[in-house]
Amino acid sequence: MNSTRRAVLAGLLATGIAPCTAGSAVAARPRPAASLLGKEIRRLPTSRHEVALTFNAAWDESGLDTVLTELRRRRLPATFFPTGRFARAHPRAVRAMGAEHGLGNHSDTHPYFDRLTSGQREQEVRRADAAIREAARTEPLPFFRFPFSHTTPETVADVNRFGYAAIEFTVDTNGYLGPGGGMTVERVVGRAVAALAPGALIQMHVGSATGGTVLDAEALPHILDAVRANGYGVVDLRAFLVPEGT
């Protein structure tokens, strides 16, 4: 275990979280730490100067190669949240995400969850899970991100009951809006930097809502430079899991 990972684990233990570690004899299906349940999570429970990188995938995959290459070059983790519909349309993309990073669940068809019955919510989550599993050929994480980041106490309780933590975000870079939506690389970077704080969850997208320039992909190197320059590291959301049954 390297010194950075050891420091991360020490910090998590200090907050009362018992994360899974590589090589330990744990159950195959970890679950979210208790500190992630009972509410929507917009900042991770840590006082360390670390942030988490997350990417939604609901439209196209045009920025994915750039994102994965940059993360690989820097040896940094991220968590990707594809929809089931995206997984069915772009299975190779989801497989590429899951080969190196954690995969969350962003629903099957991206509806407003407060407009659904509890049974329909479960169907959205389960169908997405099945599609992501089939595409990635790996175990998705028990992390759910609500479409439109629209949550209510009832919908969060349902998602928790299905076995997922509701992982939202501290800041959305808004890169998905593209130049047509008034965004630039500089503005994307500025939004991410302004939100830097211990446990901040940065939300980006691998594609563009307009099908044009993927600003998040272009901005990622500059965001990561700024994260480091401001004294922050990047934490893997998988560190906030505990063995099932504990």
Provide the residue count of the chain: 246
11 pLDDT higher than 70: no
The model's pLDDT over 176-208, given as tens digits with 9 standing for 90+, comes to 999 999 999 999 999 999 999 999 999 999 998
| CA 74 to centroid of chain Cα atoms | 18
Averaged confidence pLDDT in the chain: 89
Percent of the chain residues topping a pLDDT of 90: 84
User: Residue 31: how many CA atoms within 13 Å on its side-chain side?
Assistant: 13
Please state the pTM of the whole predicted model: 0.88
User: Residue 219: how many CA atoms within 13 Å on its side-chain side?
Assistant: 33
The model's pLDDT over 59-118, given as tens digits with 9 standing for 90+, comes to 999 999 999 999 999 999 999 999 999 999 999 999 999 999 999 999 999 999 999 999
Walk me through the domains of the chain, giving residue ranges and CATH numbers: 30-242 (3.20.20.370)
The model's pLDDT over 129-158, given as tens digits with 9 standing for 90+, comes to 999 999 999 999 999 999 999 999 999 999
Give the pLDDT band (50/70/90) at residue 246. Answer: low
Q: 34 is written with which tokens?
A: 């208790």
Q: How crowded is residue 134: how many other Cβ atoms within 10 Å of its Cβ?
A: 14
User: Residue 169: how many CA atoms within 13 Å on its side-chain side?
Assistant: 25
Give the pLDDT band (50/70/90) at residue 6. Answer: very low
